Chain A
Amino acid sequence: MSDKLIKIVRFIGLGFLEPIIRLSRGEETKKNLTEILKKIVAPLASTLLFILLWQSGATALYNTEAEYRIEKAFKDQGQKAADEMTACIESGEVNCQPNTLPSPSQVKASFNSLLKDHKTISADKKAFKEKTADLNKKRIAEGKDPIVYTGRPSFVDQIITSIKTVFAGFLLAIFIAVPIGVVIGLSETLRSSINWLIQIFKPVSPVVWLLLVFMIVKTLTKDSDADSSFIISFISVGLCSMWATLVNTVMGVSTVDKDILNVAKVLKLGPFQKVFKVILPSSLPLIFTGLRITLSVAWMVLIAIELLAQSPGLGSFVWEEFQNGANDSNSKIIVAMFVIGIIGFLLDRIMLTIQKFVSFNKNEGA
């Protein structure tokens, strides 16, 4: 039974839990203890070291900034102002705090305050919904648009928007890249005629894609007054990230094992059957490698694109906080950084799990 548990744990990428499970069953105590040391204690230690380094770095930067402020006050206004500044900084008053890299504890505090903020906003939203429920029913019955909540989005709302954008972009990338990749991969003529286009567009920066999409979408949505920033950002994300999938699909389809193609011929599979029963399944591992890269690229460019497209999400959150310049803005940016990193990591893990599921060793049939 436990073997099944270990298999599941491994499958979902929590392989580091394996020695604990084994140890709890009393298997090979010494070996599993070293495994725990390697897989759990060592990563924890490195995390701790990272936080320590961060803390000391932040303190050093804080001191530099504080000294500079005091010196500046002394130069500009004399000893009295310098003393006042020292006292002000030590008292921890908000408006004279040195603005620099926040320490881990500040980031933690900002994280908590963001969560609290989210709770207030969602409570607010709920209350608003209850209040307007009857009115909206009436408005819909009269054929008018319902009243929607237009307050400030919370940090969690921004995260959800970002994830929605990235998935919309990712789906777009799949729907463009996989079919085109299959068609190009099947025909050598097409491959050589389109290859140069792919090679040119692949390295284009996300910013340029955004501008290109902006030019087109702006013209196409001239008549509607709907918010086009979401459309622009998800299309840009899709266009930036689809290249890995496209290239991998072409590669997978064009390098199907010759023996397998011979089988298709000997079995006399029709062209449709050949593509769906032989070529696609056999290139699935490569296609999924491409999709995994695509998703991580999509998440990476998303932030930059949201930032530029003024579309709501983590990117604009970061940008707004930076512009805001409040005393906790810097730590909020760091919170966003960690959230971005962790979500990116989770997305990659999910893709890796799916990839494991569809993969097979190319030589297994032989």
Chain B
Amino acid sequence: MAYLELNNVNKTYGKGANATEVLSNINLHIEEGEFVAIVGFSGSGKTTLVNLINGLLQPTSGEVLFKGNPIVDTSHERGVIFQNYSLLPWLTVYQNISVAVKETFPKESKQFRDERVKEYIEMVSLTPAINKRPKELSGGMRQRVSIARALAMDPEMIIMDEPLGALDALTRGNLQDEILNIWNKDKRTALLITNDVDEGIYMADRIIPLRPGPNATLGPEFKINIERPRDKTSLNDDPEFKKTRNGIIEYLMEIGEERSTSTDETEYVLPDLEPKYFD
């Protein structure tokens, strides 16, 4: 029995004739302590998949098991880092994290909670901005707050839904390293959803492409046998990296082509017109 299991999961939105099957026949097994990345085109149902795992959505059919038990609701055991940060704009950095800590450790002393909040703010190096509101922070800083909030709840598994998608390349690289460092410390199980193949290879143990929806389903997995800690600069010359990267990209391109050929069935005949000149 795997740590997280998705068996023949289908998710349909709408009913009757309007039903669209977003995910179909998803099978995914994640072991404890593993770092798995799922890559896919935008609009392929990645967020739906994440919401099934964190408990915001229920599958139409099939089962989602966490440690052997079906997921019926959200849980503190699974921390979520949202794509758009989803901080509460009227609260400061400290308060945003404090809300989460208070919910997770309701019985602990005030001092314990205060220390925990500060510890996690320190971890994402935001102590100077502790009393700032989200609007005063840059995108990267906001995402750090979001990461600190998810981790401060001490989850057994971290689910990241395109956490770095909206950031510029430099901030992105820094945050990738930060997330990896944090993950390295206690090797929590991690699931990363991304649209960036390089990011997936750099961070994960396994990469699984998601074939685009509707009827999205998981493709064959790619194991990444590159020693950790990985070095971003030398990674580009690593034959293993090149092989995996090409494999995944080829696979995704193939699906992309399949998709474009399958949808472009009708040929549009343009009317035979010529400009007319008036003298």
Contact = CB atoms under 8 A, between A and B. Distances in A.
Given A262-B56, A277-B99, A364 B89 contact: yes
B201 to A, nearest CB: 28
A266 B88 contact: no
Interface string A250-269: 00000000011011011111
Given A265-B74, A267-B99, A360 B85 contact: no
Contacts of B127: none
Interface size range on A against B? 20 to 34
Nearest to A257: B86
A76 B76 CA distance: 96
Given A277-B99, A361-B135, A364-B133, A260 B88 contact: yes
A253 to B, nearest CB: 15
A263 B88 contact: yes
B89 A360 contact: yes
Interface string B75-110: 110011010111111110000000110010000000
Given A360-B90, A364-B133, A365-B134, A267 B100 contact: yes
A284 interface: yes
Contacts of B79: 266
Nearest to B101: A267
B90 A259 contact: no
A365 B56 contact: no
Interface residues of B, number: 25
A284 B88 CA distance: 13
A300 interface: no
Given A265-B74, A277-B99, A364-B134, A259 B89 contact: no
B189 interface: no
Interface string A274-287: 00011001101000
Nearest to A270: B103
B64 to A, nearest CB: 16
B221 to A, nearest CB: 27
B54 interface: yes
Given A262-B56, A265-B74, A366 B88 contact: no
B135 A268 contact: no
Given A259-B84, A267-B103, A360-B135, A282 B90 contact: yes
A365 B88 contact: yes
Contacts of A273: 103
B82 A268 contact: no
A282 B88 contact: yes
B70 to A, nearest CB: 17
B88 A278 contact: yes
A222 to B, nearest CB: 48
B57 to A, nearest CB: 10
A262 B82 contact: yes
Contacts of B135: 360-361, 364
Contact of B86 (A262, A268, A362): A262
A366 B103 contact: no
A268 B88 contact: no
A366 B142 CA distance: 8
Interface in A295-333: none
Nearest to A281: B90
A364 B135 CA distance: 5
A268 B135 CA distance: 25
Contacts of A266: 54, 56, 74, 79-80
A232 B142 CA distance: 52
Contacts of A278: 88
Contacts of A282: 88-90
Given A364-B135, A366-B87, 7 more contacts: A262-B82, A263-B86, A266-B54, A278-B88, A281-B90, A282-B88, A365-B86
Interface of A: 259-260, 262-263, 265-269, 273, 277-278, 281-282, 284, 360-362, 364-366
18 contacts: A259-B86, A262-B86, A263-B88, A265-B55, A266-B56, A267-B153, A268-B74, A269-B99, A273-B103, A277-B88, A281-B91, A282-B88, A360-B133, A362-B89, A364-B134, A365-B85, A365-B87, A366-B85
Top 9 closest A-B pairs, CB basis?
Answer: A364-B135, A365-B89, A364-B89, A365-B87, A259-B86, A366-B84, A281-B90, A360-B89, A263-B86
